[in-house]
Structure 1
Amino acid sequence: MNSDDKRVWLERVKKLFVGFDRPLALIVFLLLCVGLVTLYSASLDVPGRVEDQMRNIVLTFILMWGLATVPPSTLMRFAVPLYTFGIALLVGVALFGITKKGAKRWINVGVVIQPSEILKIATPMMLAWYYQKREAGLRWWDFIVGFVILLVPVGLIAKQPDLGTAMLVFAAGLFVIYFAGLSFKIIAPVLIAVVIAVGSIAAFQDKICQPQVQWPLMHDYQKHRICTLLDPTSDPLGKGFHTIQAVIAIGSGGPLGKGWLKGTQAHLDFIPEKHTDFIFAVFSEEFGLAGELVLLLLYSALIARGLFIAANGATQFARLLAGSLTMAFFTYAFVNVGMVSGVLPVVGVPLPFMSYGGTALTTLGVAIGLIMSVGRHKRLMKS
Structure 2
Amino acid sequence: MSASFGRPPLWHRVRPYLTGFDAPLAAGLLWLVAIGCIVLFSALQDAHVPFDDHLRNLAIGFVVLFVTAQVPPQRLMQIAVPVYTVGVALLLATAMFGLVRKGARRWLDLGVTVVQPSEIMKIAVPLMLAWYFQRREGQIRVKDFFIAAVLLAIPVGLIMKQPDLGTALLVLFTGAFVIFFAGLSWRVIGVLVALAAASAPVLWHFMHDYQRQRLMMLLDPQSDPLGKGFNIIQSMIAIGSGGVFGQGYLHGTQAHLNFVPESHTDFVFSVLAEEWGLAGNLVLLAAYTFFILRGLMIAANAPTLFSRLLAASVTLIFFIYAFVNMGMVSGILPVVGVPLPFVSYGGTALITLMLGAGMLFSIAKSKRLVQS
**TM band (smaller chain):** over 0.9
CA distance in structure 2 between the partners assigned to 1:92 and 1:81 by the alignment: 16
Aligned partner of residue 44 in structure 1, secondary structure: helix
CA contact (8 A) 1:124 1:325 kept: yes
Aligned-pair distance for 1:197? 8.2
CA distance in structure 1 between the partners assigned to 2:260 and 2:89 by the alignment: 38
CA distance in structure 2 between the partners assigned to 1:214 and 1:315 by the alignment: 38
Aligned-pair distance for 1:29? 1.1
Aligned partner of residue 99 in structure 1, secondary structure: strand
> In the alignment, which residue of structure 1 is the partner of 2:247?
258
> In the alignment, which residue of structure 1 is the partner of 2:21?
20
CA contact (8 A) 1:253 1:288 kept: yes
> In the alignment, which residue of structure 1 is the partner of 2:356?
367
Aligned length: 364
Return the letter of the residue paired with 2:307.
A
> In the alignment, which residue of structure 2 is the partner of 1:99?
100
Aligned partner of residue 216 in structure 1, secondary structure: helix
Q: Which moved more, 1:29-38 or 1:76-85?
A: 29-38
Q: Structure 2: any 5+ residue segments left out of the alignment? A: 1-8
Q: Which moved more, 1:215-224 or 1:352-361?
A: 215-224
> In the alignment, which residue of structure 2 is the partner of 1:207?
none
> In the alignment, which residue of structure 2 is the partner of 1:228?
217
CA distance in structure 1 between the partners assigned to 2:273 and 2:223 by the alignment: 25
CA distance in structure 2 between the partners assigned to 1:295 and 1:29 by the alignment: 12
> In the alignment, which residue of structure 2 is the partner of 1:160?
162
CA contact (8 A) 2:47 2:264 kept: no
CA contact (8 A) 2:17 2:70 kept: no
Aligned partner of residue 229 in structure 1, secondary structure: helix
Aligned-pair distance for 1:75? 0.6
> In the alignment, which residue of structure 1 is the partner of 2:78?
77
> In the alignment, which residue of structure 2 is the partner of 1:177?
179
> In the alignment, which residue of structure 1 is the partner of 2:4?
none
- The CA deviation string for residues 125-156 of structure 1, in whole angstroms up to 9 with x for no partner, is 00000000011211011111111000100010
> In the alignment, which residue of structure 2 is the partner of 1:355?
344
The 1:282/1:14 distance shift into structure 2, 3 A limit, reads same
Aligned partner of residue 128 in structure 1, secondary structure: helix
> In the alignment, which residue of structure 2 is the partner of 1:382?
371
Aligned partner of residue 105 in structure 1, secondary structure: strand
CA distance in structure 2 between the partners assigned to 1:214 and 1:322 by the alignment: 32
Aligned-pair distance for 1:18? 2.4
Aligned-pair distance for 1:234? 1.2
- The CA deviation string for residues 179-230 of structure 1, in whole angstroms up to 9 with x for no partner, is 00001222134445667888xx9xxxxxxxxxxx993120000000000110
Alignment partner of 1:326 is 2:326: no
> In the alignment, which residue of structure 2 is the partner of 1:205?
none
The 1:214/1:33 distance shift into structure 2, 3 A limit, reads closer
CA distance in structure 2 between the partners assigned to 1:169 and 1:98 by the alignment: 21
Return the letter of the residue paired with 2:97.
F
Aligned-pair distance for 1:14? 4.0
CA distance in structure 2 between the partners assigned to 1:133 and 1:324 by the alignment: 17
TM-score by length of 1: 0.91
> In the alignment, which residue of structure 2 is the partner of 1:29?
30
The correspondence of residues 267-346 of structure 1 with structure 2, limited to 5 A, is 267-346=256-335
The correspondence of residues 170-249 of structure 1 with structure 2, limited to 5 A, is 170-191=172-193, 215-249=204-238
The 1:289/1:224 distance shift into structure 2, 3 A limit, reads same
Pick from 126, 131, 139 the counterpart of residue 124 of structure 1.
Answer: 126
Return the letter of the residue paired with 1:157.
I
CA distance in structure 2 between the partners assigned to 1:49 and 1:22 by the alignment: 31
- The CA deviation string for residues 87-120 of structure 1, in whole angstroms up to 9 with x for no partner, is 0000001001001011100001121000000000
CA distance in structure 2 between the partners assigned to 1:298 and 1:194 by the alignment: 33
Q: Structure 1: any 5+ residue segments left out of the alignment? A: 1-7, 202-212
Return the letter of the residue paired with 1:369.
G
Aligned-pair distance for 1:20? 2.2
CA contact (8 A) 1:232 1:241 kept: yes
- The CA deviation string for residues 294-318 of structure 1, in whole angstroms up to 9 with x for no partner, is 1011101111000000111111111
Alignment partner of 1:148 is 2:150: yes
Aligned-pair distance for 1:36? 1.1
CA distance in structure 2 between the partners assigned to 1:108 and 1:31 by the alignment: 33
The 1:196/1:283 distance shift into structure 2, 3 A limit, reads farther
Return the letter of the residue paired with 2:337.
G
Q: Which moved more, 1:183-192 or 1:245-254?
A: 183-192
TM-score by length of 2: 0.94
Query: Please, what is the CA RMSD of the aligned residues?
Result: 1.9
CA contact (8 A) 1:214 1:220 kept: no
